[in-house]
Amino acid sequence: MRTYILKRVLLMLPTLLGISIVTFAIIHLAPGEPPAMRADVQGSLQQSEITSEQIDQWRKLNHLDKPVLVQYWLWVKRLVVLDFGRSFKDQQPVIKTIAKRLPISMTLMIPAIFLTYLIAIPVGVRSATHQYRFSDRVVTFTLFVLYSLPSFWVAHMLLTYVCGGEYLDLFPLAGMSSPSSPEMNWLQQFFDRVWHLVLPILCYTYASLAALSRYARAGMLEVLRQDYVRTARAKGLAERVVVMKHAFRNAVIPIVTIIAGLLPALLGGSVIIEQIFSIPGMGRLGFEAVQGRDFPVIMGITTIAATLTLVGILLSDILYSVVDPRISYGSEKS
């Protein structure tokens, strides 16, 4: 097992390198110059008019005058010590900015993933054991509708109808906490935070909920058709035992592995949800970086997101062997 994990971690490196090469090529071969650069030069010199020499100087400072291959080599060399360079926009180290923004996104995603699993698995299992009954039809249809519902539209409508305006005023319009939050005690702060995050978490949850419980239902149906379930029933076991002990344990295996795919999907979705709810997380950082062509930040986000995905895939493979003793990676030859 240990050698397997080590091998997988080593195999990640070429993949990561490939991802960084593609991203690097895309952003450096695209026409035009980064507007963030102009803004930065203006800001640091405290003047609105800047000369082309000053721009050239700035390009030199950020190695933008060198050939793309040399730039890439410089980038990789710094990456070894986890240095993603400095943002064009504010000259802050990229790794610091990401370290500040990633936890914010995570406070949204972890509860969302947790909630998704908490609701999706029972719903899917129940739907499968009651296949073709009225309740199953209702649940399946509802999930189908949720699955097709664009989350940015839902978020936008929530803002319209329950966040002030002419309709209901139940939730705050934007941000992570109230302006008065520093004066609150920790309990008030906690509830203030929850109050702000309910809607964004809801938006993340319903979308992945639909996908996951449909998956859970399909997996459960598959297992319920197996011979060993029929055997268990023939033995005269109670239906509850058949479902929970014999069927569910086997059906849950593929569901566990989806967690890996959920993470990058949530990161992608965060671009739009964080934008709508004005939450300063990774998604918003990415959006701003793309708008300002802040190359080091774009590179940093892509690399971190890809690493997270790779780790997610590895984790789910390991989880796979934990929940299913038939799968063992130790003796596998490949």
Exactly one of 105, 129, 309, 316 binds another protein (CB under 8 A); which one? Answer: 309
Provide the H-helix boundaries in the chain: 2-29, 35-45, 52-61, 68-79, 94-129, 134-148, 151-162, 186-224, 227-234, 239-241, 249-276, 282-292, 295-323
SS3 63: coil
- Residue 106 neighbours by CB under 8 Å, 6+ apart: none
Query: Which residues 29-48 are close enough to bind another protein by CB under 8 A?
Result: 30-32
- Shortest distance (Å) from residue 113 CB to another protein: 16
CB of 138 to another protein, least distance (A): 14
Residues 6+ apart with CB under 8 A from 308: 263, 264, 267
227 part of the interface to another protein, by CB under 8 A: no
Going by C-alpha positions, the residue among 226, 281, 276 that lies closest to residue 249 is 226
Please choose, out of 46-54, 90-98, 107-115, 158-166, the segment that lies near another protein by the rule CB under 8 A: 158-166
Closest to another protein by CB, 212 vs 298, is: 298
Of the candidate residues 79, 149, 252, 323, the single one contacting another protein (CB under 8 A): 149
Interaction between residue 120 and another protein (CB under 8 A): no
* Site membership for another protein, residue 310 (CB under 8 A): yes
Encoded tokens for 121: 């698995």
264 binds another protein (CB under 8 A): yes
Sign of the C-alpha dihedral computed for residues 99, 103, 105 and 106 taken in this order: positive
> In the complex, which residues of this chain contact another protein (CB under 8 A)?
14-15, 18-19, 22-23, 26-27, 30-32, 144-145, 147-150, 152-153, 156-157, 159-160, 164-166, 264, 267-269, 271-272, 275, 286-287, 290-291, 293, 298, 301-302, 305-306, 309-310
